[in-house]
Amino acid sequence: MTTDRPELSLIVTVVDGGDTLERCLDALLGQENAPSMEVIVPYDDTIAEVGKLAAKYPTFRFLGLGALSDRPPANAFEQHNLFDRRRAEGLLLAKGDLVAMIEDRGWPMPNWARAMADAHARFSDGVIGGAIESAAEGPSRWAVFFLDFGRYQAPFETPNPEFVSDTNICYKRAALDQVKDLWRDMYHESAVNWALRDRNAGLRLEAGPKTVQQRKVMGPLAMAMERVHWGRNFAQVRAHGVAPIGRLKWIASAPVLPTVLYVRHLRRQLRLGRHLPEFARATPMMLYLLGFWSLGELIGYVQAKRSGDSPTAHA
């Protein structure tokens, strides 16, 4: 599966590890008609057990990074800092002409690698993301899917989106190298992708390279705190370089943000005409989580103002 100069390099972000990671890696072993490909699994001492899987997957490269932190992450904010540092190390090591990322909470369909390589051959865009579907069960897990991945359900309203998910994304190396200063130490997909968009590298969504998401069950409080931290992260990246008046507008709109976001998700799902019963059952949990996300955004904009607009984490 690997060559000295693979066509495609793939960095796997370890989020849950264990059986979840093995499910993802097994799906990569089962890729059909795949291009020459290297698979890189970065891990640090907080998830040292991941290294034990190297013997089971000898064609994959398990990249031990040692101590990236002096203690396990205390919350989702710190956890994503580790994700982003691991991904940056994987990007630095990748040799392929195409450089992709997925995360272990999802798994690729059997034709994922071939479809992603073919999409890059057809289109000049520097950043291509694939479709994301759900294997969720229960309203809470569907709520998380709609909030995190609803915009990545095919068919897409526009092939040229504002966002491409770092759970199913592939770059042309020439494009990625243009913004190496942004991801050398820590990879933030929004900062990288928006910088490439501003350089006219092009962002595209394609239905062919598809992954399936299935998160583990979490309690309501843990889910709420995760949203606060993720909203904070997103706001800090978004606010980078924005004038104070722009941040003040976002701060002022925080009270209506849950409603605005929910209506946006609802309109998208109605356009798609898919999973409407699941969406209805997930609505109470979606509104609950959107409230905490909005709180996190508010905190992030305030902190960005106070810290001189320094982007600090994953969006």
**pLDDT band at 21, cuts 50/70/90?**
very high
**pLDDT band at 308, cuts 50/70/90?**
very low
**pLDDT band at 51, cuts 50/70/90?**
very high
* CATH fold of the domain at 8-213: Spore Coat Polysaccharide Biosynthesis Protein SpsA; Chain A (3.90.550)
Query: CA-to-CA distance for 251 and 299, rounded, in angstroms?
Result: 9
**pLDDT band at 46, cuts 50/70/90?**
very high
pLDDT at 42 over 50: yes
Q: What is the pLDDT of residue 80?
A: 83
Weakest-pLDDT range from 15-19, 128-132, 160-164, 311-315: 311-315
Mean pLDDT in residue range 273-300: 96
Per-chain mean pLDDT for the chain: 92
**pLDDT band at 313, cuts 50/70/90?**
very low
pLDDT in tens, 156-184: 988 889 899 999 999 999 999 999 999 99
Contacts of 47 (CB under 8 A, 6+ apart): 14, 17
Q: What is the pLDDT of residue 170?
A: 98
pLDDT at 197 over 90: yes
Mean pLDDT in residue range 61-80: 87
pLDDT at 309 over 50: no
Query: Which ranges in the chain are annotated with CATH 3.90.550.10?
Result: 8-213
The closest of 30, 12, 29 to 21, measured between CA atoms, is 12
Q: What is the pLDDT of residue 312?
A: 41
**pLDDT band at 305, cuts 50/70/90?**
low
Mean pLDDT in residue range 6-17: 96
The residues pairing with 103 across neighbouring beta strands, listed in sequence order, are 13
pLDDT at 44 over 90: yes
pLDDT in tens, 99-134: 999 999 999 999 999 999 999 999 999 999 999 999
Weakest-pLDDT range from 10-24, 63-77, 154-168, 285-299: 63-77
pLDDT at 236 over 90: no
DSSP letters along the chain, please?
Answer: ---SS-SEEEEEE-SS-HHHHHHHHHHHHT-SSPPSEEEEEEE-GGGGGGGGGGGT-TTSEEEE---SSSS---SHHHHHHHHHHHHHHHHHH--SSEEEEEETTEEE-TTHHHHHHHHHHH---SEEEEEEEE---SHHHHHHHHHHHGGGSSSPS-SS-S---TTEEEEEHHHHHHTHHHHSS---HHHHHHHHHHTT--EEEEEEEEEEE-PPP--HHHHHHHHHHHHHHHHHHHTTT--HHHHHHHHHTGGGHHHHHHHHHHHHHHHHT-SHHHHHHHHHHHHHHHHHHHHHHHHHHHHHHHTTS---S--
Q: What is the pLDDT of residue 240?
A: 79
Mean pLDDT in residue range 197-223: 93
